[in-house]
Structure 1
């Protein structure tokens, strides 16, 4: 039996791919740092240290897009790519968890 087939990614430039990939890496790291969700300081510290490099990669991807004349962000297309790459779940770790009902 074959694994389920994922929807195809929309057509993106290389710089847009780097933008989306770097953005999701930053989101993943922020989710690991989130004080409302993290459980250990060491893991959060390592994520915070890695965040610096990933934020620089995100900046570089945007600078490359700008330098190539890609002056507009095609939000609908990039949002579709983020959804295909499980961006909603990944971004959900950055938000506050639901409150625990009091007894």
Structure 2
């Protein structure tokens, strides 16, 4: 039982370290060939939105709106991939490494 608790504490420390690392990493999603970009932390917090002047057409605001949404989705996808690559190996260890049902 003590070994099991020790393994759980180690896993908890590794998960906390991975979450801290994610908070410090950034990913950028783009749309429109780079006309719009959205930068997010690994935890999904938006830190920057960049819009190239060429993307701004007062007569076509809807296209710009679509580009912003697409860039946000691209950044979110990148965050999900980053999270899976950092947390996946750790989460996989919960079931096999600890042998706890349901984890």
- TM-score, length-scaled by structure 1: 0.33
Q: Which has the higher contact order (CA 8 A, sep 6+)?
A: 1
Q: What TM-score do you get using the length of structure 2 for normalisation?
A: 0.33
Higher strand proportion? 2
